[in-house]
Amino acid sequence: MEPLDIANKIREKFPLDVADITGFRDQVFVSVKAERITDMCRYLYEDPDVSMNFLADLCGVDYPDRKFRFEVIYNLYSIKHNHRIILKALIPEDNPTVDSVVPIWNGANWHEREACDMYGIIFNGHPDLRRILMPDDWEGFPLRKDYPLKGKEGAEYRGFEELKELHTHDKEWNIS
């Protein structure tokens, strides 16, 4: 199927949830409301003509000036039919939550954890939502646009809390 046909199919099935359909080069992007994203993904996964069985990628994007600040990009590909469509779930800043698609694609697990780590987007129903690339006790969300590229001069990372506990005996063991 051509990507545009798939996009129109989504619009037919979910007329109230599709906000916009755009194209660039030969790829088609469908902006959708975040509420029914799992229904939409399950439909694309199960429909035999579309059969999006491969979640190529899932990531977040931050647009601080827009009404919906975050977007979660679902890059869906069908190994059976060799076609691709990219869904963009629009997520507001005051309630950055979206349902998890891990029940559909297991591969979404770590991608969602990373989006949570980098943007602070909460994925409802995720089996194990923790920070993944940054340390557990990190503050802030590094890939947000208002997060600075470089930290303050002279500031040091205060270290893992669990490591600090390990170092409580340093003095008595004469380790500096």
Partner 1 sequence: MKNNSEGLDNSESVRLATKELTLQLGPQHPATHGVLRIVLDLDGETIVKCTPYVGYLHRGVEKLAEHRNYLQIMPLTDRLDYISSMSNNIGYCEAVEKLFGIELTERTKFIRTIVGEMSRIANHLLWLATHALDIGAMTIFLYCFREREKILDLFERLCGARLTVSYPRVGGLKNDVDPQWLDDLYKFTAEFPMRVDQYETLINKNRIWLRRTKGIGVISAEEAINWGLSGPALRGSGVPYDIRKVMPYGAYDKVKWEVPVGKNGDIYDRYRVRMDEFRQSNSIIRQCIEILPEGPIMADAPKFILPAKDKVLTDMEHLIHHFVLITKGPQTAPEGEIYVATEVPKGELGFYFVSDGTGKPYRMRVRSPSFVHVSALPKLCEGELIADIIANIGSIDIVLGECDR
The piece of 4-12, 82-90, 151-159, 163-171 that touches partner 1 (CB under 8 A) is 82-90
Q: CA distances (Å), 135 to each of 138, 158, 159, in order?
A: 5, 11, 9
Residue 88: which of 13, 162, 23 has the closest Cα?
Answer: 23
Q: How far apart are CA 107 and CA 96, in angstroms?
A: 22
Q: What are phi and psi of 127, to 5 degrees?
A: -70, -25
Nearer to partner 1, 16 or 131 (CB): 131
By the rule CB under 8 A, 51 interacts with partner 1: no
Q: How far is the CB of 74 from partner 1 (least distance, A)?
A: 11
The answer to whether 57 contacts partner 1 (rule: CB under 8 A) is yes
One of 15, 94, 149, 156 touching partner 1 (CB under 8 A): 149
- Of 19-48, which residues contact partner 1 (CB under 8 A)? 24-25, 27, 29
Quote the DSSP letter at residue 48: T
Q: How far apart are CA 1 and CA 156, in angstroms?
A: 53
Residue 89 touches partner 1, criterion: CB under 8 A: no
Smaller CB separation from partner 1, 75 or 100 = 75
CB closer to partner 1, 37 vs 70: 70
Find the part of the chain contacting partner 1 (CB under 8 A) among 10-18, 59-67, 90-98, 153-161: 59-67
- What lies within 8 Å, CB to CB, of 56 at 6+ separation is 75, 76, 77, 84
The CB-of-95 to partner 1 minimum distance in angstroms stands at 22
Neighbours of 65 (CB within 10 A): 6
DSSP 119-145: H--EEET-TT---SSS-TT--S-TTST
Residues that bind partner 1 (CB under 8 A): 24-25, 27, 29, 53-57, 59, 61-62, 73, 75, 79, 82, 84, 86, 105-111, 114, 118, 131-135, 142-143, 147, 149
